Amino acid sequence: MKEWLTRLTAAFGPAGREEEVRDLLRQELSRLGETDVVVDDLGNLIVSRGKGEDKRIMVAAHMDGVGFMVTSIEENGFLRFAPIGGIQVHSLPGTRLKFSRGINGVIGQEKIKEQKALDFSKLFIDIAAAGREEAEEKVQIGDTAVFAAPLVQERERFIAGTMDNRAGCAVLLETIRRLPADLPQPVTFVFTVQEEVGLRGAQVVAYRIRPHFGLAVDVTRTGDTPEPQFKTAVSLGKGPTVKLKDNSVICHPRITALMRRVADAQAIPYQLEVLEQGGTDAGAIHLSREGVPTGALSIPCRYIHTPGEMVDGNDMENSVSLLLALLQTAW
Amino acid sequence: MFLRELSELPGVSGNEGRVRDFIREKLSAWGIRHDCDALGNLYAYKGDGATGAALNLMLAAHMDEVGLMVSAIEKSGHLRFYKVGGIDEQFLVSCPVYVGNAGIPGVIGAKAVHLQKKEERGKPLEVDNLYIDIGAKDKDDAAKVIKVGDYVSFAARAATFADTFKGKALDNRAGCAALLEILQRDFPGSFTAVFTVQEEIGSRGARAAAYRLNPRMALVVETTIAADLPDVEEKDQVTLLGKGPAFTLQDDSLIVHPRILERLMAVAQGKGIPCQFRRFTGSFTDGGSISQTREGVPTGVISTPCRYLHGPASLLCLDDWRNLVEVVDGFIDSVMAKGL
């Protein structure tokens, strides 16, 4: 899984431009011998196991991450940009970025009277271009960039700028690898697009699949750092979470009960998650068509939507264990 | 071109009947099959319905405009109002309007500047400080011709000067006019042009229309902000008048499907038509709700740049509009020839 995580976090994939992540996943799925793999019109990657429409479970992890889009190129060669997804502006000055075409850049900041006045219009990207002409040779309006923050490891913890949600993608891929052919009910795994801009991929793919149950696999915030910005009881390294609620979904009690029962029975560590801000693909899945009982499993992650997103390898391993046990249980 | 007629028709969100009737009349005259749904979206079915049916291309332009609605009649006969859609109150004072289906003329009033207290001056007026004056003597007099719930639309007359066009509701009668122009031309296959309702209050009509048509791809024909004004920095100008139709990259509701964006750019380049990007990622259009329908619809947005959008009168460059029509024409031909 570590090798997959390294490659997945290195892949370029802001919301709306998930091609590189999708291609990597497709290649690995093909290597794993998965045969029922399709891509829909918006780019969701759909992997089905088991036939029949009975009690199909949809398990979703989004491929996209937050990013930046160039909105104008100035005379002096600096780029103006807009965020893709929810990025806190105060964390940005000095941040290194990479563009789809391999160009490197760094975010600079105009002089401001007080720090509170900082907003995106006061920031620019410097790609070391001498002027507009040179900049336009490297980058066009509409080009996208992501944090240039490849994976590093400290003890059993991993840090990368794209952990949300390549950690979820790696967990899903590893689950698929280890999942036996015989299952109590069919499962469709979906690597979704455009979660960070409003759960857009999950919404349309849930309509297509018509699942009976939904399960989102994503990262979640932790509250285990000094004076945490977000209040939550979740800690790094204490196991995957069984999500109870966030801003997008109140998880179905039958599914949260099932998740807890299975985890208890298998002695897999887990934590209960109530997230006051943020949402996940579960929010779109559970409102599809006539409604879908949906839950979510989260990998605890510090410093979400920054270049320093940190997860714990044991949490990822335990996430795989819980998913494997869940999918081999009759729902 | 029917831009003048379309611009002058009232059609505030939820009250698009006059615009719909005008377009319907044209479609009937041209022998184009059309119908309406329960929300009032108007569908024009171009072609025989068989060739190109697999493509199921949806074009969309919204008929509605921003405006006001009467919320109460004061004892004095002055009308209080709500806003319908995104309107900046600063632009409302002294603005001539038409009230209700009978089109009663009125003017938006506020306390005269002489009577304003020192601290009131220089502050932008809010809806609560404004009223519509139709010259009624008192409440009873006003109630003879007005009722609460009546729609109010801007009263600007359309005009052309040089190669520009001035009028109200160019957002999005310019798009409606473009679709009417397209519908008069010949294409090798079939597609559906939808004139949608209630875009300005949250893209409500398009959501239902896309569900009904279940298209394989969609192109939204819109107007967008041109902020090419002396006191706006270049980076904040969004689009420039006269530099061609604008392609949306992303907004709050949609990341434009890359293959549609590439095709639009290729078509413009192939025809030698100038075009520009919408250099702004806020706001929304029907593109967002269409792309999120059912199993997902690859969707693009092309716009005529327009100054003073959502104001009592806006202004566009006719050459941009003509070029938009040519790009839309080329896009239809292109996807019919080789898919997306």
Domain closes at, from A147, A175, A207: A147
- Output the domain CATH number for residue A276: 3.40.630.10
Closest approach of chain B CAs to the CA of A71, in angstroms? Answer: 5
Alpha helices in B44-133 (DSSP H): none
Both B71 and B59 in a single domain? no
**pLDDT digit string, tens, across residues A204-217:** 999 999 999 999 99
A203/B279 Cβ within 8 A: no
pLDDT of res. A284: 97
- B181 residue type, one letter: E
- Output the domain CATH number for residue A84: 2.40.30.40
**pLDDT digit string, tens, across residues B217-275:** 999 999 999 999 999 988 899 999 999 999 999 999 999 999 999 999 999 999 999 99
- Residue B315 inside a domain? The answer is yes
d(CA A212, CA B12): 42
ipTM of the complex model: 0.86
A42/B296 Cβ within 8 A: yes
- Res. B158 pLDDT band, cuts 50 70 90: very high
Identify the domain containing residue A237 by its residue range: 2-65+162-327
Both A20 and A101 in a single domain? no
pLDDT of res. B274: 97
d(CA A234, CA B188): 59
Both A83 and A96 in a single domain? yes
HEC profile of B215-264: CCEEEEEEEEECCCCCCCCHHHCCCCCCCCCEECCECCCCECCHHHHHHH
Read off the pLDDT of each residue in B50-56 and give the average, rounded to a whole number.
Answer: 85
Which of B217, B249, B293 is facing A69, going by the closest CB pair? B249
- Residue B200 inside a domain? The answer is yes
Query: For chain A, what is the domain count?
Result: 2
- Output the domain CATH number for residue B243: 3.40.630.10
Both B191 and B96 in a single domain? no
Both A38 and A107 in a single domain? no
Identify the domain containing residue B316 by its residue range: 3-65+168-338
**Structure tokens, B275:** 């075009």
- Residue A157 inside a domain? The answer is no
d(CA A49, CA B246): 44
- Residue B299 inside a domain? The answer is yes
Q: Which residue has the tokens 């793999």?
A: A37
Which residues, given as ranges, of chain A have pLDDT below 70?
A: none
B255/A197 Cβ within 8 A: yes
Residues in A lying within 8 Å of B, measured between beta carbons: 15-17, 40-42, 44, 69, 71-72, 74-75, 80, 82, 84, 121, 141-142, 194, 197, 200-201, 203-205, 207-208
Both B127 and B204 in a single domain? no
pLDDT of res. A166: 98
- Output the domain CATH number for residue B130: 2.40.30.40
d(CA B11, CA B205): 14
Which residues of chain A neighbour B235 with C-beta distances below 8 Å?
71-72, 74, 80, 121
Both B42 and B79 in a single domain? no
Give the nearest chain B residue to A140 (CA atoms): B277
Both A128 and A228 in a single domain? no
Residues of B with catalytic roles: 199
Both B149 and B177 in a single domain? no
pLDDT of res. B128: 86
B297/A16 Cβ within 8 A: no
Coil vs helix vs strand at A308: coil
Confirm whether A19 is a catalytic residue: no
Which of B257, B277, B295 is facing A142, going by the closest CB pair? B277
Both B310 and B191 in a single domain? yes
B250/A69 Cβ within 8 A: yes
pLDDT of res. A114: 84
Q: Is the pLDDT of residue B195 over 90?
A: yes
Give the nearest chain B residue to A289 (CA atoms): B294
- Residue A153 inside a domain? The answer is no
Both B287 and B141 in a single domain? no
Question: Pick the catalytic residue: A18, A195, A273, A309?
Answer: A195
- Residue B163 inside a domain? The answer is no
Both A248 and A323 in a single domain? yes
Query: For chain B, what is the domain count?
Result: 2
Domain closes at, from A94, A115, A147: A147
Both B147 and B295 in a single domain? no
- Residue A119 inside a domain? The answer is yes
Both A40 and A174 in a single domain? yes
pLDDT of res. A17: 96
B250/A200 Cβ within 8 A: no
Which of B216, B255, B281 is facing A71, going by the closest CB pair? B281
A74/B295 Cβ within 8 A: no
Q: Is the pLDDT of residue B112 over 80?
A: no
HEC profile of B111-160: CCHHHCCCCCCCCCCCHHHCEEECCCCCHHHHHCCCCCCCEEEECCCCEE
Segment among B22-26, B117-121, B166-170 with least mean pLDDT: B117-121
Both A183 and A254 in a single domain? yes
Q: Count CB neighbours of B240 within 10 A.
A: 18
**pLDDT digit string, tens, across residues A29-72:** 999 999 999 999 999 999 999 887 779 999 999 999 999 999 99
Which residues of chain A neighbour B280 with C-beta distances below 8 Å?
71, 82
Domain closes at, from A147, A170, A189: A147
Both B41 and B99 in a single domain? no
